[in-house]
């Protein structure tokens, strides 16, 4: 797939957001009977999920997770980790097997690619409830690059991208590696935001949601969003949903209904708009 979509510990929490201690993912009745649900979100993955300096979890996926728990009438507990090597590892660690030390898993994993190939090769996890269509894009400093017709413009202009992401792989191989000297790799997404906000680079590459988010974080820069041709990229767009364990499909169906309600009511578009992000339906 996209090598973890776009790569991004346990976060601090407030109110109902407490650290998960469950050791296994559970079906619907077990979740309801226990009175709580544990939902995994990625660490350092703005605008979808990240932790503020005060320890509060914020983001689009965080708000959707809150709606899931609210609809089920249960307490919400978050499990927060960084991304592993790939999406298969994330599903294994966060949904059906757990980490090596504590074996901690979640009942639901947010922001899983709704992809048949990924679903087929992960027999212990099920991908469900697509709620967002994501795209690849650039946020560009208008002063440095007024127009970006193609990636050839970055032969002599620096561009930031998070290390080991789909964007990184594309830029590394574009024009047979001719852009290598222009790539400024951030170890984390936050590093990419800092590089762009400081004016160190002319553009940053990531998902469209990330590009739009970066623009909101650099108000002093006249930014525009660009989606030039990306020949050879694995995916220009992909639907995003969530994952549950293979024997928790009933929980997944219940939450898929909630996701559908959020989409059809317009509430999901309102949530993304609060983060400066455009909403695209996966349907």
| 111 and 152 housed in the same domain | no
| CATH number of the CATH domain containing 198 | 3.40.190.10
- Asked whether residue 95 is domain-assigned, the answer is yes
pLDDT the model gives residue 23: 55
Going by C-beta distance under 8 Å and a sequence separation of 6 or more, which residues neighbour residue 270? none
Shared domain for 118 and 258, answered yes or no, is yes
Residue 170 falls within a domain, yes or no?
yes
In a domain, 2, yes or no: no
Mean predicted confidence (pLDDT) in 91-103: 87
Note whether 43 and 126 are same-domain residues: yes
The answer to whether residue 43 is domain-embedded is yes
| Same domain assignment for residues 185 and 79 | no
97 within domain boundaries: yes
- Residue 97 shares a structural domain with residue 122: yes
Position 71 pLDDT exceeds 70: yes
One domain for residues 143 and 191: yes
Check whether residue 87 and residue 114 sit in a common domain.
yes
175 and 194 in a single domain? The answer is yes
Per-residue confidence (pLDDT) for residue 16, from 0 to 100: 36
pLDDT digits (tens, 9 = 90+) for 21-59: 445 679 999 999 999 999 999 998 999 999 998 989 999
pLDDT single digits (tens) 3-23: 444 443 333 333 333 334 445
Domain count within the chain: 2
- Structural domain of residue 187, as residue ranges? 135-226
Residue 44 falls within a domain, yes or no? yes
Q: Examine the domain organization and report whether 124 and 98 are in the same domain.
A: yes
For residue 94, the model assigns a pLDDT of: 96
Q: pLDDT for 247-270, tens place per residue?
A: 999 999 999 999 999 999 999 999
Percent of the chain at pLDDT exceeding 70: 92
| Per-residue pLDDT band at 102 (split at 50, 70, 90) | confident
Q: Same domain, yes or no, for 63 and 95?
A: yes
Q: Model confidence at 116, in pLDDT bands (50, 70, 90)?
A: confident
pLDDT value at residue 234? 85
In a domain, 283, yes or no: no
The answer to whether position 209 is within a domain reads: yes
């Amino acid at each position: 797939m996209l090598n973890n979509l776009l790569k991004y510990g346990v976060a601090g929490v407030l109110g109902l957001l407490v650290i998960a201690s469950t050791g296994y993912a559970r079906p619907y009745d077990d979740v309801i009977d226990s009175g709580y649900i544990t939902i995994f979100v990625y660490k350092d993955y703005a605008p979808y999920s990240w932790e503020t300096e005060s320890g509060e979890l914020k983001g689009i996926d965080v708000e959707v997770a809150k709606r899931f728990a609210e609809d089920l009438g249960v307490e919400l507990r978050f499990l927060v980790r960084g991304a592993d090597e790939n999406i298969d590892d994330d599903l294994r660690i966060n949904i059906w097997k757990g980490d090596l030390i504590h074996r901690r898993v979640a009942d639901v994993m947010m922001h899983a690619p709704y992809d048949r190939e990924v679903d087929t090769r992960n027999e212990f996890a099920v991908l469900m409830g697509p709620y967002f269509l994501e795209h690849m894009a650039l946020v560009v400093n208008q002063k440095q690059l007024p127009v970006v017709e193609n990636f050839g413009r970055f032969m002599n202009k620096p561009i930031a991208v998070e290390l080991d992401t789909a964007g990184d792989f594309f830029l590394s191989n574009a024009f047979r590696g001719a852009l290598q000297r222009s790539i400024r790799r951030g170890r984390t997404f936050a590093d990419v935001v800092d590089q762009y906000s400081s004016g160190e680079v002319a553009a940053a590459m990531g998902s469209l949601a990330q590009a739009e988010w970066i623009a909101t974080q650099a108000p002093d820069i006249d930014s525009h969003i660009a989606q030039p041709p990306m020949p050879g990229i694995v995916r220009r767009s992909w639907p995003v949903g969530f994952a549950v364990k293979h024997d928790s499909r009933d929980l997944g169906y219940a939450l898929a209904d909630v996701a559908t309600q959020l989409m059809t009511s317009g509430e999901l578009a309102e949530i993304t708009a609060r983060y400066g992000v455009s909403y695209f339906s996966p349907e």
